[in-house]
Each structure stands twice: as C-alpha cells, then as structure tokens.
C-alpha cells in the first residue's frame, strides 16, 4: 500500500502528495471548503476564483462536468469522486441543491 495520493482531473494526474494535503485540495476542488464558509474563503476567495487559479496554475481544463478523483497513487480505483456542477454519476445534490461529494471507500 502506497502512502502517496493523487488527484486526477478527467483521468489525468494533476497533483500528488500525502493523504492530508491531497484530501484538503480535493475538498477545495469539490467546493466543500467553500460551502462551510458561505461561499467564500479568506485566502482562496470564491469557488469560481479558486477554479480559475487552478486552471491557470496547473494548466488544466476544469469546468462543469469535469471529474475529479482522489486515489492512492498505486491504486486504479478512486477513493473519492466528484463531478463539478453536473448531476452525473459521482456527483449528486442535496435538498438545498448543493453538490455533494461521493465517498467511495471509508
């Protein structure tokens, strides 16, 4: 079992690191960090601003419908999965219409 994790965007590895760091970045990418702060983060700005920074810094395409996976580097199976802004498998909305992250493994 590896101690390194990665985030893949639409099947392509975007970043890798330790579980805690990658989990925090996943929470940012999925919007979870912004939901608990009424839509804005003191250092990251709004969710939309954060995604724009990611697009620019990582030079990746990320938009509505993009699939974000968090997985152990040595594993092919995603541990956490999120689909940005779309009601597709891997992403669903709660009663308030907020996107919810699907946890695939405990």
DSSP calls for 22-81: HHHHHHHHHTHHHHTTTTEETTTEEHHHHHHHHHHHHT----TT-EEEEEETT-SS-SEE
- Please list the pLDDT of the chain residue by residue as tens digits (106 residues): 568 999 999 989 999 999 999 999 998 888 887 766 566 677 778 888 888 888 888 888 888 888 899 999 887 778 888 878 754 334 445 545 555 554 444 4
Cα angle, residue 79 at apex, residues 83 and 16 outer, rounded to 5°: 85
68: nearest Cα among 10, 25, 28: 10
Looking at residue 8, its pLDDT comes to: 92
CA dihedral for 11, 104, 101, 33, sign (positive or negative): negative
Looking at residue 99, its pLDDT comes to: 55
Q: Rounded CA gap, 59 and 53, in Å?
A: 9
Going from N- to C-terminal start, the domains of the chain cover 4-103
């Amino acid at each position: 079992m590896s101690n390194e994790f990665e985030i893949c965007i639409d099947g392509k590895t975007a970043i890798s690191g330790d579980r805690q760091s990658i989990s925090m970045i996943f929470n940012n990418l999925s919007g979870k960090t912004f939901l608990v702060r009424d839509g804005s983060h003191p250092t990251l700005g709004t969710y939309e601003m954060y995604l724009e920074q990611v697009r620019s810094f990582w030079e990746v395409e990320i938009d509505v419908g993009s699939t974000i996976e968090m997985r152990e580097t040595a594993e092919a199976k995603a541990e956490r999965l999120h689909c940005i802004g779309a009601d597709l498998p891997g992403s669903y909305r709660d009663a308030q219409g907020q996107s919810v992250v699907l946890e695939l493994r405990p």
